[in-house]
Structure 1
Amino acid sequence: MNAFSKMIEIIVTVFLLFLVPLQYIEMKQDLVCQVYVQNETIYFVDSVRNLGYVNRSMYQLFQKRIEQTNHVYHINLVHYKRLQSEETGGNQYVGTYTELILDELYGEEDTKYSMNKGDFFSVEIVNKDKTLSTRIFEMLIDKTVTMDEIYVTYGGGIRDEII
């Protein structure tokens, strides 16, 4: 029994000395990635809101910058076009989503996807791959988890429009 207790002692020691600190460090790394992706998203969305359009090079630069974190992301783009409602006298919004926006960006050379002042534009980003922190956590609890460690959403009204 003495050998068995020594073996358990070694396993617990390895667990406490290596895996728990590694889990903590990787959680901090996920937080750094979250902040980086959030800052890049804010910069991209604010650029679009100030200019009143998004073009292919802006979008590709944004993709390239967030991919520097070595994670795979799902990017959702949403544009709500403001329409004046004659019946109610208020505003109505019609949504255009990622697929149609990208179709217009990649349809012809140097095409812009234009928006008008008062429209709403937002971006949502979710990581599609599992971070090391998640993999360690799954190993510790011996179950598969679905957690989005890196999730960013940001948007706002278009301030200007192209002339």
Structure 2
Amino acid sequence: MYGAIGKILEWMIGIILAIFVPILLVGIKCDQIIQSNAQEVVEEFVTKAAATGQIDQASYMEFISKLDATGVVYDVEFTHEHLVYEPTVNSSKTAVSNSYEDGFVSYYYATGTDEILYNIYNKGLEDKPYYMSYGDSFYCTAINKTPTLGSKMLTLLSFSGEDNKIIAKYSAFVSRVNEKVN
């Protein structure tokens, strides 16, 4: 009796694995292709923005349409960091030179996604780009919001509630400056 039940279980497990494993492999391969395409789109957008020193409506809409072509919905985040130097005056005398020290303080002023998109879309009816300065850094991150076949299968296999995210990140320094700076 045990031999018959064992054979039935072996066949059922074999059939499940024969169906599940190929679907899992196809899902993982599709996720890798989507990841590669998303990374390429993000790199292209950031490189173009850093090379021109600006982000305009046309380039942003082209970026979003290329990301949409992957078939996955993304949460896109931008960060623009501008290095600011401010002069400081130290009113205390130093012990060595008995003079006042003058210097500067440097810090990064960061602008996020909301401010960048507000500047692009709410400056009037015409297309007004968001300008960046030479040497600034620009970051872009795209994280998928919809589960893919591969992430669903891996979640099922690992018994965890976490989805594997497709994350595309890229950053670059601004290498060209246009006539206006934000």
TM-score using structure 2 length: 0.82
Deviation at residue 2 of structure 1 after TM alignment: 4.7
Aligned residue number for residue 117 of structure 2: 102
Give ranges in structure 2 of 5+ residues lacking alignment: 89-102
Work out whether 1:43 is the aligned partner of 2:30: no
Deviation at residue 10 of structure 1 after TM alignment: 2.5
Is the CA contact (8 Å cut-off) linking 2:155 and 2:163 kept in structure 1?
A: no
- Number of residue-to-residue matches in the alignment: 162
Residues of 2 paired with 1:68 and 1:24: CA distance?
Answer: 22
Is the CA contact (8 Å cut-off) linking 2:121 and 2:128 kept in structure 1?
A: yes
Per-residue displacement from partner, 1:43-77 (whole Å, max 9, x unpaired)? 10010001110001111110110111111101000
Aligned residue number for residue 134 of structure 2: 117
Partner of residue 169 from structure 2, selected from 153, 158, 161: 153
**Secondary structure of 1:124 counterpart:** strand
Residues of 2 paired with 1:15 and 1:8: CA distance?
Answer: 10
**Secondary structure of 1:86 counterpart:** strand
Q: RMSD between aligned alpha carbons? A: 1.6
Work out whether 1:92 is the aligned partner of 2:93: no
State the identity as a percent. 23
Structure 2 CA distance for partners of 1:94 and 1:21, relative to 1, 3 Å: same
Give 1:58's aligned amino acid: S
Residues of 2 paired with 1:140 and 1:3: CA distance?
Answer: 28
Is the CA contact (8 Å cut-off) linking 2:138 and 2:172 kept in structure 1?
A: yes
Structure with more strand by fraction: 2
Indicate the larger mover: 38-47 or 17-26: 17-26
Give 1:126's aligned amino acid: I
Give the greater-gyration-radius structure (CA): 2
Give ranges in structure 1 of 5+ residues lacking alignment: none
Indicate the larger mover: 113-122 or 81-90: 81-90
Residues of 2 paired with 1:51 and 1:95: CA distance?
Answer: 19
Residues of 1 paired with 2:75 and 2:143: CA distance?
Answer: 5
Aligned residue number for residue 162 of structure 1: 178
Residues of 2 paired with 1:89 and 1:143: CA distance?
Answer: 51
Give 2:39's aligned amino acid: Q
TM-score using structure 1 length: 0.91
Residues of 2 paired with 1:146 and 1:16: CA distance?
Answer: 22
* Runs of 4+ off more than 4 Å: none
Deviation at residue 27 of structure 1 after TM alignment: 0.8
